[in-house]
């Protein structure tokens, strides 16, 4: 073997051995599967070993079949020189192995190792995840999460959250599991209140699991959520745990908003102020759309409007986002301004709308390529207080009277 020159691209950059099961990462670098899985799931690394580039969460490892065939052919051609033939990779999913790992979760000394192996199997290939649920992985993760809550322990939760998030899909079996184990929500909320090592990762995964549960569950779950749940989600926004956690919390709040009871609790938790503060940090487009979706729901309530008006940048922020982000934000923002002008439009508010540019933006909407519905809504707002605003140089009378063609 020492005298034979091995092609460089047959060598794994980690093990420096011939690759038996080459897989390619999103960075374009190919590794032996066993070595890169050790690096990612047991070493808990989040960068590509060669390029040092950060890796997207749950990024797949793509089997490099062409390279594996080349390596196999080279090994066969050099068998007379003592080169061993590489074995055919094992099937990506082995139910017996998964069931054994679930059983090993009951053995304290093997628990963490078993969790990491399950995480590796779930991350390896999306096709593994359905069979893993059938084998009982999701149920085992729910049991482990709830037992950690009862024992007031946080070890192993990061891996358990990761596995559950990966395998949880909106099947009837998952819906039944969630409905029968509603208390798992309380267990996860407990985690969000704890101080621990690597808490950004653990808490982000906890929020993602909550989002997954609310997506899988039926609408009845949203009606049953306790006030503590909404306070916890507003707490996630306030703590700025991570961008991923913030977006997941926003998704859940938006999904909960159609129920009046939920809106009242969210407002009571002070969400409007925190939503404005997040938006003032200029987040990405999708985050802004979520924020405006929630604000639109909350501002149909007097208390929600009062909180928005109580923030010194409330009206200004809503106005400035019009025509700058997306049609969805335009629609929500004009709707919010219409709520304010119609139901909270006292003299002070009306003059503030003029001062911070809200009135100018509504005029611009009439001239922009917006939907007829949004234009009509903007025109309606302008008409509400035309007696105050018609002296402004930004408003022409024809904008208040003409109809779209």
Inter-residue contact 322 to 365 (CB < 8 Å): yes
Phi, psi of 47 (to 5 degrees): -130, 160
Average the pLDDT over 186-204 and give the result. Answer: 92
Phi, psi of 153 (to 5 degrees): -120, 150
Neighbouring residues of 129: CB distance < 8 A, sequence distance ≥ 6: 122, 166, 167, 169
In order of 107, 209, 210, 218, the CA distances from 187 in angstroms are 22, 11, 10, 20
Residue 371 belongs to some domain of the structure:
yes
Q: Does 152 score more than 80 pLDDT?
A: yes
More confident residue, 247 or 54: 247
Comparing CA positions, the residue from 334, 331, 274, 272 lying closest to residue 305 is: 272
Comparing CA positions, the residue from 34, 123, 20 lying closest to residue 69 is: 20
Flag the least confident range among 34-38, 69-73, 200-204, 354-358: 34-38
In sign, the C-alpha dihedral spanning 283, 289, 292, 298 is: negative
Q: Please count the residues of the chain.
A: 405
Phi, psi of 23 (to 5 degrees): -130, 145
Residue 39 belongs to some domain of the structure:
yes
Average the pLDDT over 304-326 and give the result. Answer: 96
In the chain, the number of structural domains is 2
- Report the percentage of the chain scoring pLDDT > 90: 62
Q: Rounded distance, CA 103 to CA 111, Å?
A: 9
- Domain range for 40: 8-81
Which of 47, 81, 115 terminates a domain? The answer is 81
Average the pLDDT over 314-334 and give the result. Answer: 97
Q: Does 108 score more than 70 pLDDT?
A: yes
Inter-residue contact 212 to 173 (CB < 8 Å): no
Residue 356 belongs to some domain of the structure:
yes
Residue 31 belongs to some domain of the structure:
yes
The DSSP annotation for 76-99 comes to: HHTGGGTPPPPPPPPPS--HHHHH
Residue 380 belongs to some domain of the structure:
yes
Average the pLDDT over 258-265 and give the result. Answer: 95
More confident residue, 96 or 165: 165
The pLDDT mean for the chain works out to 89
Rg (CA), the chain: 28
Residue 222 belongs to some domain of the structure:
no
Specify the 3-state DSSP secondary structure of 120: helix
Average the pLDDT over 257-264 and give the result. Answer: 95
- For residue 81, how many other CB atoms are within 10 A of its CB? 9
**What is the CATH classification number for the domain harbouring 20?**
3.30.40.10
What confidence tier does 32 reach under pLDDT thresholds 50, 70, 90? Answer: very high
Q: What is the per-residue pLDDT for 396?
A: 55
Q: Does 196 score more than 60 pLDDT?
A: yes
Residue 30's DSSP bridge partners are 24
- 369-387 pLDDT, tens per residue? 899 999 999 999 999 998 8
Residue 62's DSSP bridge partners are 24
Q: Rounded distance, CA 215 to CA 396, Å?
A: 47
Edge-to-edge strand order for the sheet containing 22-24?
30-32, 22-24, 62-63
Q: Does 389 score more than 90 pLDDT?
A: no
Q: What is the per-residue pLDDT for 333?
A: 98
| Location of structure tokens 């703590």 | 239
| Location of structure tokens 């005298």 | 3
Q: Does 110 score more than 50 pLDDT?
A: yes
- Report the percentage of the chain scoring pLDDT > 70: 92
In sign, the C-alpha dihedral spanning 285, 288, 292, 294 is: positive
Average the pLDDT over 176-203 and give the result. Answer: 89
Which of 81, 109, 127 terminates a domain? The answer is 81
What confidence tier does 402 reach under pLDDT thresholds 50, 70, 90? Answer: very low
Q: Does 175 score more than 90 pLDDT?
A: no
Average the pLDDT over 48-68 and give the result. Answer: 83
Return the structure tokens found at 109. 């000394």
What confidence tier does 93 reach under pLDDT thresholds 50, 70, 90? Answer: low
Inter-residue contact 42 to 79 (CB < 8 Å): no
More confident residue, 404 or 305: 305
Q: Does 222 score more than 90 pLDDT?
A: no
Q: What is the per-residue pLDDT for 393?
A: 66
Whole-model pTM?
A: 0.78
Residue 283 belongs to some domain of the structure:
no
Q: What is the per-residue pLDDT for 57?
A: 62
Residue 261 belongs to some domain of the structure:
no
Average the pLDDT over 276-300 and give the result. Answer: 97
Which of 51, 81, 111 terminates a domain? The answer is 81
């Amino acid at each position: 073997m020492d005298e034979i020159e091995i092609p460089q691209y047959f060598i794994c950059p980690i093990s420096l051995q011939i690759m038996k099961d080459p897989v390619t990462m999103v960075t374009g670098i190919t590794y032996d599967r066993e070595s890169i899985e050790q690096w990612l799931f047991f070493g808990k690394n989040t960068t590509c070993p060669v390029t040092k580039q950060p890796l997207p969460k749950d990024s797949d490892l793509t089997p490099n079949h062409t390279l594996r065939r080349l390596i196999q052919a080279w090994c066969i051609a050099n068998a007379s020189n003592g080169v061993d033939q590489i074995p055919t990779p094992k099937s990506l999913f082995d139910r017996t192995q998964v069931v054994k790992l679930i059983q090993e979760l009951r053995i304290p000394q093997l628990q963490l190792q078993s969790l990491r192996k399950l995480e590796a199997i779930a991350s390896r290939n999306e096709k593994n995840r359905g069979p893993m649920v059938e084998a009982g992985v999701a149920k085992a993760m729910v049991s482990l999460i709830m037992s950690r809550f009862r024992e007031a322990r946080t070890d192993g939760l990061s891996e358990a959250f990761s596995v559950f998030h990966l395998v949880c899909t909106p099947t009837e079996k998952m819906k039944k599991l969630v409905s029968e184990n509603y208390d798992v929500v309380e267990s996860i909320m407990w985690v969000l209140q704890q101080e621990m090592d690597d808490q950004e990762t653990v808490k982000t995964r906890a929020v993602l699991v909550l989002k997954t549960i609310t997506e899988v569950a039926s609408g009845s779950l949203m009606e049953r959520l306790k006030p503590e749940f909404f306070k916890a989600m507003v707490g996630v926004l306030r703590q700025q745990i991570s961008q991923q956690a913030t977006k997941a919390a926003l998704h859940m709040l938006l999904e909960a908003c159609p129920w009046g009871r939920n809106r009242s609790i969210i407002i009571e938790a002070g969400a409007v102020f925190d939503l404005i503060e997040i938006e003032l940090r200029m987040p990405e487009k999708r985050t802004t759309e979520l924020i405006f979706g929630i604000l639109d729901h909350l501002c149909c309530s007097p208390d929600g409007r009062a909180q928005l008006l109580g923030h010194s940048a409330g009206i200004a922020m809503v106005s400035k986002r019009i025509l700058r982000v997306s049609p969805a934000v335009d629609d929500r923002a004009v709707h919010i301004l219409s709520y304010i002008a119609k139901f909270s439009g006292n003299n002070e508010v009306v003059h503030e709308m003029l001062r911070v540019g809200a009135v100018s933006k509504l005029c611009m909407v009439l001239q922009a390529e917006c939907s007829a519905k949004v234009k009509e809504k903007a025109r309606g707002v302008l008409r509400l207080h035309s007696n105050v605003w018609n002296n402004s140089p930004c408003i022409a009378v024809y904008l208040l009277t003409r109809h779209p063609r």
